[in-house]
Amino acid sequence: MDISQLLTAMTPEVYQRILTAVETGKWLDGSVLTPQLRDSAMQAVMLYQSRHNINADHMTVAAGGEIKFKSKAELKRDFAVNFSATTCNADTAISDNDIARFEHDQL
């Protein structure tokens, strides 16, 4: 199978499974990747990212094949947006100094 056939056959779901296997060193069923299989899977992930990764995260391969490095300011902005989107709603506002406080009997 050549590269173009591989990338045509690889769906986003297959890509995600291969990415998870590369990150953890195991397939979803728990079987361990051999070093040779891990290297091949990593190459497949990088090829897929080079074709489909439009909004590249820090230290991933962006569309076009370039490795994306984000500046510290870009990372802070991305994390602030992700944090506010997941923790805030219209009724609450969280500041940097807010912490959760509980009485012992509330735990």
Of 107 and 50, the one with more pLDDT: 50
pLDDT digits (tens, 9 = 90+) for 17-76: 999 999 999 999 999 999 999 999 999 988 888 887 766 665 567 667 667 767 778 777
pLDDT digits (tens, 9 = 90+) for 90-105: 455 555 567 777 777 7
CB atoms inside a 10 Å sphere around CB 45? 22
Domain ranges of the chain: 3-106
pLDDT for res 32: 95
